[in-house]
Chains A and B, each alone.
Chain A
Amino acid sequence: MNQIPALVRVFAYLSLLTVGGGMAAFPEMKILTVEVHKWLTFPQLIHLYSVGQMAPGPNMMMIVPIGAWAGGVLGAIVVALAFFGPTAVLTFIVGRLWNKLEKWPWRRSIQQGLAPVSIGLLLAGCFTMAKGAIFGLETATIAVVVLLLLLNYKINPALLILVGAVIGVLSFTP
């Protein structure tokens, strides 16, 4: 069955939800890609997202393999265009207007008002992911240690994710 139109629809929609970061779209992404379209399983989605944190560039390139699995090379390209295109055009247009709006008093209100909501969406995405990623003492410890290390030291997060992989192998191989 041809999944291309569905891929375009879903990822163009998700694109517009990424206020403040890609994680904001995660709860909807789980519903649409896992539950509605069944392109992948929830553990697979979590794995792709996590591994994607180590890839260079925007941390949501994990959408590419989802597109590839559902629709081959074309699927991968279409998903990338659908996910990055709409917001790119929007940013381009607003970026030009924004400087002209410098005197507009609501500009500051919009920025101040959207900040807590976008952080809330990020946190909500994080909780959705934690439901699948945190089970038992080992995974909870890894998450907490990574959090504390990043808050207190300047470490490359990709390195910590790699360490997480090593600890994973050590604790979860039978």
Chain B
Amino acid sequence: MPYLRGSLVTKRHWIDDKEFVEMLSISQSLPGLNATNMAILVGEKLRGALGSVAAIIGICLPGAVIMYVVGIFYRSHGDHVWVTAALKGVAAAAVGLILSTVVGLSKKSLADKFDFVFMALTVIAVNRLHQSVPRTLVAVGLLAILFHRPRKARKESVGP
């Protein structure tokens, strides 16, 4: 993300800082990966639908080709002792990486202590109760959205 911000905002001046934050918050609330959602939104802003198509192809193609080749290699050499040993280390490191993302996001976007309750409910529903992700998403999501429902500021003027 810092890299994305650097090239979109600072280097290319395609969008400004406020737009970047706005687009990122949309990307995070919608299904889809942040990187691809950002690509869609920036592409749309610059060149409409064609811009979005170009942006998503641009952001996906290099990784897709590389992973295609990796897949072929892994299929033929994946059972080599050195490869399996390396992959055990890689997988463990990836777990650490995801956990760091969880901590980073929690620090940034969880303000209320009930937010941690919603987070825990989600984990328990998926991992312990083996509920499907969509069911959990709808149930806990609705609960959390209702909890954060808009509250009217009480500013009723009292008579004339």
B149 at the interface (CB under 8 A from A): yes
B123 A161 Cβ-Cβ under 8 A: no
Q: Is the CB of B94 within 8 A of A50?
A: yes
B interface: dominant SS: helix
- Whether B71 is near chain A, meaning CB under 8 Å from some CB there, is yes
Please, what's the 1-or-0 string for A58-77, where 1 marks a CB less than 8 Å from any CB in chain B? 11111011101100000010
Within 8 Å by CB of B86, from A60, A118, A169, lies A169
* Interface-central residue, B23, B34, B92, B118, by most chain A CB under 10 Å: B92
Known contacts A123-B122, A139-B89, A143-B95, then 7 further A-B pairs from the complex at CB < 8 Å, ordered by chain A residue: A57-B60, A57-B64, A87-B31, A90-B31, A95-B40, A124-B126, A166-B86
Is B10 interfacial (CB-CB < 8 Å)? no
Give a binary string over A76-120; 1 marks a CB under 8 Å from any B CB, 0 the rest: 100010001001101110111010000001101111111111111
Residues of B within 8 A of A121 (CB): 122, 126, 133, 136-137
Task: Give bound CA distance, A117 to B78, whole Å.
Answer: 35
User: How far apart sit A165 and B85, CA to CA, in the bound complex (Å)?
Assistant: 8
Does chain B have a CB within 8 A of A33? no
Cβ–Cβ < 8 Å partners of B148 in chain A: 108-109, 112-113
Interchain nearest-CB distance for B71 vs A (Å): 3
Q: Is the CB of B28 within 8 A of A20?
A: yes
Q: Are B122 and A120 in contact (CB under 8 A)?
A: yes
Q: A18-B33, A47-B78, A114-B141 are in contact. Are A172 and B85 (CB under 8 A)?
A: yes
